[in-house]
Structure 1
Amino acid sequence: MSESKVIIADDHPLFRTALKQAIIECIDDAQTLEAECFSDLLTAIERNPSLEIVFLDLHMPGNNGFTGLTQLQNHYPDLVVIMVSSDDNNDTMQKAINFGAAAFIPKSADLQMISTAIDCVLEGDIWLPECVENNVDQQTLIAHRRLAKQLAQLTPQQYIVLTQIADGQLNKQIAYDLDIKETTVKKHVSAILSKLEVNNRTLAGLAYQELMLTLPENDGDLQSA
């Protein structure tokens, strides 16, 4: 049996079925895995090092906007990530590409469009639907790509610490959750601030929240420790 190359991370069974059909047509002998939430996706990736392509739902459980995309890029930089969503406005689709996705496939896409997108990605290109207007704001594009590059420079544990900073947790709480010393957390925070080129943890948390499409309830409550 061929090793799994593709995983579909989406909590809608009907759309997973449509994607699987397109994958069968585009990728020879591809064994396709499925995940219904982001934590299951991470577990599957760890257990299947042969995976090459991830189809990631923008709003699946455990993933808020582009937080999952950048986490995958940080932890598994060799994976190709294709975003999928019914939230297919111009800004959202372009933002996905800005943050490093190889494609954005609307859930309204038919089988032919999905196949076209997959073929394009397999050829090493970036794909967006033809309906996307080519009116990218260059300053926004540069800012998004800069943030994506900075996040990619974080170690996996620094990335996790950043997510907890953005969630408003103090160093002592982070140390407890990760089972590490508080002094280690402080070192991680210093490294995060340096790599993100910001002066304090509040700005670091706000930078991470740029990835979200819905802000957490404690937005702005990024306390120092």
Structure 2
Amino acid sequence: MRLLIADDHVMVRDGLRPFLLELGKNVDVYEAGTFGEVLEVLSSVSDIRLLLLDMRMPGMDGPAGIRMIRERFPTLPIAVLSSVTDRRTILTTLAQGVSGFIPKRLSAQAMVSALRLIIAGERYVPAALIEEDRASMAENDGPERNLTTREREILDLLREGLSNKLIARRLNVSEVTIKSHLCHVFRKLGVQNRVQAARFAAGM
């Protein structure tokens, strides 16, 4: 089985090599330090089973680089290896059709497991992203999903037992503004008064 590690840091490639050798029998690991070398290896070596690709190597133009590889080698599984793990980067990368996004901070054993999954034809998504999605779904599941950011702030302060005057002082707005916001909060939550709203907030 032939694999290609593409990372501009020799230490990263050397560090990953022993773990990649665990992925199967007769594993051959090829290396590339630039995007140009990636294309060269892929063009000259047949039957590469997996490309482990660094997003920030010389010549690599992020998603555009991935699209170029996908156009030239449409059946090649690509696992992106990155130290940048914010949600937007992960989703943008996955949208390019890669088989997985692997954070560099992932433990060696977890990385091997992720790569086994990808080689088997599955897709790997970081657990942190899945948990974030679950948390977001839980947060948005219910009448409170319709509240604005300001209304949520007021509801939180209401739950703390603050009066309209104290809430207004805390948020540096007028008491009339707080009363107006509370009317909207009551309507969206389907409650009649402050007590019911506070009880609802306590169960959120």
Classify the TM-score, shorter chain.
Answer: 0.5 to 0.7
In structure 2, what is the equivalent of residue 65 of structure 1? 62
Shift of residue 27, structure 1, vs aligned partner: 2.5
Aligned-pair distance for 1:123?
2.0
Identical counterparts, % of pairs:
26
Aligned to 1:29: 26
**Which of 44, 49, 52 is the equivalent residue of 2:46?**
49
Superposition TM-score, scaled by structure 2 size: 0.61
Judge conservation of contact 1:9–1:41 (CA < 8 Å) in 2: yes
Q: Secondary structure at the match of 1:84?
A: strand
Distance 1:21 1:100 in 2: 27
Q: How many residues align?
A: 133
Q: Which residue of 1 aligns with 2:133?
A: 134
Give the one of 94, 97, 118 matched to 1:97: 94
CA–CA distance in structure 1, aligned partners of residues 16 and 100 of structure 2 = 14
CA offsets per residue over residues 126-182 of structure 1, 9 Å max, x none? 1022111227xxxxxxxxxxxxxxxxxxxxxxxxxxxxxxxxxxxxxxxxxxxxxxx
* Alignment pair present for 1:9 and 2:15: no
Cα deviation 1:63-108 (Å, max 9, x = unaligned): 1211121111101112111101111112111221111110111111
**Distance in 2 separating the partners of 1:93 and 1:16:** 22
Runs of 4+, deviation exceeding 2 Å: none
The CA distance in 1 between the partners of 2:63 and 2:13, in whole Å, is 20
Residue in structure 2 matched with residue 169 of structure 1 by the alignment: none
The answer to whether the 8 Å contact 2:50/2:119 transfers is no
TM-score when scaled to structure 1? 0.56
Structure 2 residue aligned with 1:113, among 110, 115, 134? 110
Give the gaps of 5 or more residues in structure 1.
Answer: 136-225
Larger Rg, first or second structure (1 or 2): 2
Report how far residue 43 of structure 1 moved: 0.8
- Secondary structure at 2:127 match in 1: coil
Q: Within the alignment, does 1:19 sit opposite 2:16 as a pair?
A: yes
- 2:122 counterpart residue number: 125
In structure 2, what is the equivalent of residue 141 of structure 1? none
Question: Which structure has more helix as a fraction of its residues?
Answer: 2
The yes-or-no answer on 1:76 pairing with 2:67 is: no
User: How far, CA to CA, are the matches of 1:95 and 1:27 in structure 2?
Assistant: 30
Structure 2 residues without counterparts, runs of 5 or longer? 135-204
> In 2, distance between residues paired with 1:37 and 1:17?
16
Superposed CA RMSD in Å reads 1.7
Shift of 1:19: 2.2
CA distance in 1, matches of 2:49, 2:16: 15
